[in-house]
Amino acid sequence: MPLTLYDMHNAVGKPASPYCWRIRESLLLLSVPFESRFLSFTQIGDRFSDTHKTVPVLSDGGKEIGGSWAIAEYLSENYDPHKRLFGGIDGRSLAAFVTNWVDATLLDTVNRMMVKDVHDAFMIEDQPYFRRREEERLGATLEAIQSSRESTRLAFQVSLHPARRAIKEQPFIGGQHPTYADFALHSTFQWTRTTTSFELLRADDRLNQWIERMDDWLASVSVQD
């Protein structure tokens, strides 16, 4: 029986969570059969009650695991005999560092640059909840927050320098092959590209080549859901 990945979708049916993108790519790397179940904001609460507040949630038989890092560790322990997801024992530390860096530093900046676009991409019934949550959390209207994105983008591009250094002499952050360290960052660009037309990177940014390699790798993996 395939695993079930509970994901979030926007108004046009595109995956709308960077955290879910990480698990989707992890499952494809490990060739683990899975089915996607897409939920809206309101449906998450209906489906999981107080058990899980958000997605991703991975269902494996009668077991449910919530949170992208917890799911990654579960997949590593149960579906990864060759230790490909983290790239070995040493690779787990790298994956954890990159994940924490993306979550603590990059995602909030990216969200601020496209928060109104994210709102507009959601289904109409989900927009009031998203607006209320983000405006309370960020202390301003979505329009005001996003209006400064041109100046924010330069600082964001500078903050990506560690990733540029990582791929200077190797094709992927994880080494010769993509690992969860790559998925943690690539998921950010997957999320933005399905949500906004705003370009995060300059055309000559070295990271564009890495994104293309990640896209090519993803296209080479057979779709399983």
pLDDT at 217 over 90: yes
Q: Give the CA distances from residue 49 to residues 7, 127, 132, in Å, rounded to whole numbers and listed in that order.
A: 16, 20, 20
Evaluate if residue 49 carries a pLDDT over 80. no
| pLDDT over threshold 90, residue 19 | yes
Render pLDDT for 179-202 as a digit per residue (tens, 0 to 9). 999 999 999 999 999 999 999 999
- CATH 1.20.1050.10 boundaries in the chain: 89-220
pTM here is 0.95
Whole-angstrom Cα distance, residue 50 to residue 193? Answer: 31
Task: Tell me how far apart the alpha carbons of residues 122 and 131 are, in angstroms, rounded to a whole number.
Answer: 11
pLDDT tens column, 2-15: 899 999 988 888 88
Q: Residue 177 pLDDT more than 60?
A: yes
pLDDT at 224: 47
Six token digits for residue 222: 């057979």
How large is the greatest C-alpha to C-alpha distance in the chain, in angstroms? 49
d(CA 202, CA 212): 14
Percent of the chain, pLDDT > 70?
Answer: 98
Dump pLDDT digits (tens) for 111-164.
Answer: 999 999 999 999 999 999 999 999 999 999 999 999 999 999 999 999 999 999
Q: Judge: domain 89-220, CATH 1.20.1050.10.
A: yes
- Residue 223: the pLDDT is 53
* Homologous superfamily in CATH for domain 3-79: Glutaredoxin (3.40.30.10)
Taking residues 42-66, report their average pLDDT. Answer: 88
pLDDT at residue 225 in the model: 46
The rounded mean pLDDT for the chain is 94
Residue ranges, comma separated, of all CATH 3.40.30.10 domains in the chain are 3-79
- The stretch 22-35 carries a mean pLDDT of 97
